[in-house]
Amino acid sequence: MTFLAPWAFAIGVLGAVGVVLFHLVARTRPAAYVLPTARFIPDQRSLVSRIASRPRDLLLMLLRALLLLVASAAFARPVLTPSRGTVGHIVLVDRSRAAADVAEEVTKARSLVPAGAPLVLIAFDSTPIVLRGSSWDSLAALKRSDAAGSLTAALVAARRASAALSELVDSVQLHVVSPVSRSELDEGTTLARRLWPGAIDMQRAALRVDSAAPAWRMSRPIPLSDPLGPSVATMTSGARGHVSQLTRGSLTAGDSALIRDGGTVVRWDSTVTTRMAAEGLAVGDDVIVATLGRLSIPSRGRVVARWADGTPAAVEEQVGSGCVRSVGVMVPAAGDLPLHPPFQRIVRGLLAPCGLVGAEVASDSIVIAAMVGGSHVMASARELRARVDYPSPLARWLLLAALLLALAELALRRRGPVEAAA
Amino acid sequence: MAAGPYGALLDAVRGVRWPAARRVNGATLGAHPSQLRGNSSEFSEYRPYRQGDDPRRVDWRLLARSERAYVRLTTDKATFRTSMIVDASASMAFPQPGLDKWRLARELAVALAAVAHAEADPVGLAIASEPPTVFVPRARRSVLLEMMRALDATTPDGSAPIAPLVSSARAARIVVITDLLGDADAILAAARLRVAAKGEVILVHIVATEEITPPEQALLAVDPEHPSVRRLLDGAMRNKYREQFTRWLDEMVASSRAAGIRYIRVLTDEPAPHAVRRVAGETARRGA
């Protein structure tokens, strides 16, 4: 057992020593001696202070000293010293809608952790579920969720769980078993990643098959000077596969040919000037609030994006085997809005071919490398230990024992004064 | 007579004489000079005949030789009723466990009674206990044995007064054996009246050596007759205690002498036979 506040116990020890001294150096009434001529002694106090070689009441002294020690031990926040292992493991298993097979992820995660190692399992979608101990069966029983995943929430949960785990081990290894789709990352992910002081073992899992749509591309690249450019800068362009083409202004013959071939033409006008205002825009699960302008769009077609007040912001209409999507969102030509990941996700969703809006897209290797971290050093338990107070289960029992000792001391004291031996 | 534990003591005081301090007023033939003169065979002196003298006491032979009438005077002897009053209060049960004060008081009472009884004096005993035990003075042989049994059966306790026994004693000579820690003033007052009535009062003051010099372990002194009196007896208090105790002893001596009482202090380390001789010897000198 060790104490988190040893100074409190030290005070108790000093108090116990004081009690012993108090019992040794005590004002005692000496033994009575029958003297018929006692009346000739001047009357004065009949108590004397003396140093005794033995305490005047051994039981009471022990009781009082024990009371102080137990009470101070309770306030010193005792914790039982565990048998420390070398490495503890925290495994984040993705059960969001982006995961292809949760059972396969569990199998992969199980292979990462040695049997018997201290372990905390966290299954996450938008909300993390912490399973302490070896709860593989419980984890495998969890089904895939329909909610979007949040790696940020999972990392925060892992950081919280690491504080308790760090009391048991010297180092903690964090494993993330996830497809790491782009929808699982947000602006807080980087901050949450910084909370973890060591490297993260990233284990990529398969994206969900029906959402892992075939790759699509822009028919022609969008210049980086365009506000929409940064969102698709890493995408390849060409005419194969699912193709999408951005059109500023009216449709051209080339656009019609692309539609005839089954492609998607996105009409996103940027030439019309309109009044900008703070607007909320939602595309699937992605929402941004930014200074945007509203453009008129056809009233027919399927709504793929809406403003915060519910009015359509983008609609798409099937034309033959192709598709025409009209986007009524005016993006400011200046500003850093195009650099914001949520805006980029919305842009990618609005530029994606029809039927692929909201599909999960795997993060690129740069994101994964950033998640892993520069070093491969596991997080030290000392860095993970929380500075917050943990309730000590021993303290309750020690306080109860102190209370009982106090009652016993009271009863013993009321037993009556103890006459000192002469 | 079965003297029991007092045998050695009685042997030690055998032969001790304890004459009265002055001529006694008694008609019974005894060993003490009587105030009466007349019929004894022990010649004392001649005195010229005066009218009213008994003609049978005229010495006719002297009248024939000198033609003067003289009366033959003789010295009469009488008995002297003596009573022992013994203090049996709790303060006499000291020091524990030997009870030296009580032992010495008993031995003095028995020894003095034996000395008086040897001179054919009637002896009595009064034990100041609760209730008091009183034996009127008698001259019969068993009186000493009865006194011994009564004293041995008594355990010092309580704080019975002594003065009433002094006042009611039916004896001309009263020996009060006490530590004077009870009703001392009343004792002296009663004794003063007895002395004024031509009685003889001897005050034997029993003092334990532990009372003069209490032992070192006596840090908290408790009065056995008044348990509420608990006094601390440390170094400084010891000196004050000695001063006050000595002053009180001196006051007792002065008060006794002022009242005409013979005051004799006996310490517990003094052998009883020696104390008996001291009481009887001093008395004899004063009577000589």
Contact (CB, 8 A) for A203 and A177: yes
CB distance B231–A37 less than 8 Å?
no
CA distance B204 to B106: 12
Contact B233 A35 (CB under 8 A): yes
pLDDT band at A420 (very low <50, low <70, confident <90, very high): very low
Q: How far apart are CA A121 and CA A113, in angstroms?
A: 11
Would you say residue A154 has pLDDT above 80?
Answer: yes
Share of chain A above pLDDT 90, in %: 13
Query: Residue A412 above 80 pLDDT?
Result: yes
Distance separating alpha carbons of residues A109 and A177, to the nearest angstrom: 7
Out of A31, A36, A46, whose CB is closest to B232?
A46
Model pLDDT for residues A164-194, shown as the tens digit of each residue? 888 778 888 899 999 888 778 887 888 888 8
Residue pLDDT, tens place only, B242-280: 999 999 999 999 999 999 999 999 999 999 999 999 988
Chain-chain contact of A36 with B224 (C-beta, under 8 angstroms): yes
Complex ipTM value = 0.80
User: How far is residue A301's CA from residue A317's CA, in Å, rounded to a whole number?
Assistant: 5
A194-231 in b/e form (b: 16+ CB < 10 A) is eebbbbbbbbebebbeebbbeebbbbebbeeebbbebb
Q: Which residues of chain B lie closer than 8 angstroms to A420, CB-CB?
A: none
Residues of B in contact with A49 (CB under 8 A): none
Of B224, B244, B245, the CB nearest to A34: B224
Measured between beta carbons, the chain A residues lying within 8 angstroms of B95 are 34
Closest CA of chain B from A5, distance in Å: 48
Compute the nearest-CA separation of B195 from chain A (Å): 28
Q: Are B42 and B12 in contact (CB under 8 A)?
A: no
- The reported pLDDT for the residue numbered B247 is 94
Its sign, for the CA torsion B26, B29, B35, B38, is positive
- pLDDT attached to residue A51: 65
* Inter-chain touch A33–B233, beta carbons under 8 Å: yes
CB contact under 8 A, B220 and A30: yes
pLDDT of residue A419: 44
Distance from CA of A17 to the nearest CA of B (A): 29
| pLDDT surpasses 50 at A211 | no
pLDDT exceeds cutoff 60 at A357: no
Using pLDDT thresholds of 50, 70 and 90, give the confidence band for residue A421.
very low
**Mean pLDDT, chain B, integer:** 87
List residues of A whose CB lies inside 8 A of any B CB. 29-46, 48, 422
> Are B232 and A45 in contact (CB < 8 Å)?
yes
